Structure 1
């Protein structure tokens, strides 16, 4: 079960295992959302998977499914995923390249690992759209950030600004998203926006965030106020991390299945639209199979999620 260990400086969030796309699908490690923390900035969802041998796991095969009120961020360390969506986009997710899809009012898409992929390894992230933009039109963006070298680390900034590099990918709230590779035994200090809260997800290596130890698959959280973050790799090999950030997202959101809204009724309407195959989500061409049915709604009102600081 996921939980948080709260210290004076860094809150450590652990992951839970979740099947992706159904009970027979590949398993991912989910660190957001959880009871201890729903959001880090507008980041509201973080799945971390692999390295998985496709011959053993079966790879990724997620049939057409819908989204509302969010942006999806796909980032790979190894492998390749074929993406198709109801905009008509046919693209590939490759290591070191961000694919960002906006599903405001409604979009649908598929994600399938390619036949040549032998190992699948990466993260799938969601960003909650603010109320004034949660019905934004469908959009797809792609960017391959250049590596930035600082003393002790290599960075790839896929959203926002870090170490003097700024991503051109558009978001609806200020955000930071970057892969940080830390040299063996190295310490790197990164200047950050003091108005942001941050999360550091460890993929490989034994890392300390401002002195707090993080193991692989753990996510360290820091509240706003810091002007710098210090990352230390205690391993004898390079460590890989994902750094996320943004100003606290003050809106209460309702998350259920693949939908983000503001009320139970928002979720009911989105589910009904998907189940009735309305035009709201469009159609995905080129997937050789049926679309995913929505799960049954719970026998209770779906209540908004909020962070501890909002209570």
Structure 2
């Protein structure tokens, strides 16, 4: 028999600990910190296991967390096709036996509607925890469950119903992918702007070379540039571009001809003809020539120099 008082108590303590960890590691929580665990009534529980997949710590009957592994270098996030929509994830059982202890623990979380933690891998040994999540449907014939994510702010959510249970959800898939993309790109560029080398973290963004709305706009590091807020905005507004091959920055003629203060001169005009100042060390993370060429052609269409 499931001790629901204990199950809920441990989960409340887990969420409180995750609140602390996210405050300390806002980009992504290191696996080592998740493995440290937390205490509840004098007993220690860990937030994840040493291996992948479904985690049920000793002392609980139902699963506490599920995990999606980080993407490999140069590859998009794994299991992307398992998202049913922006708010629901199809999560596979471990193996092919629904009664295996990990699968049984996950199904118990469904049967008792116990909240769980979804650990989304954004980089090697680094995870973004999403909680509370719920198992909204069990699909033993398909060796999977459907996971639904509950939003804390109802004004930002969309009400939906699964098996008669109402949840408030938000576009979790998009948020996770964009957050993971940002972490990977900024780390590849050593948390500096590729154009001006600014290293002030809160002022840096991960800019897409090919927009994520396009088929080739994958959330891979080679489709990104680490840019400060100014240069990201200028890049998105087609005021400057990056030439494929030599990676030189080009600024539009109207910006070069404009007369204004020192920010325009030093922040934009002086970049014309300069090479990117910061690049990833690993070749697989460097901006893709094919994607840069795609972007550069559209930059020309928006008034970029024909050179």
* Structure of greater relative contact order (alpha carbons < 8 Å, 6+ residues apart): 1
Greater fraction strand: 1
- TM-score range (shorter-chain normalised) is under 0.3
**Structure of greater Rg:** 2
Greater fraction helix: 2
State the TM-score, normalized to the length of structure 1: 0.22
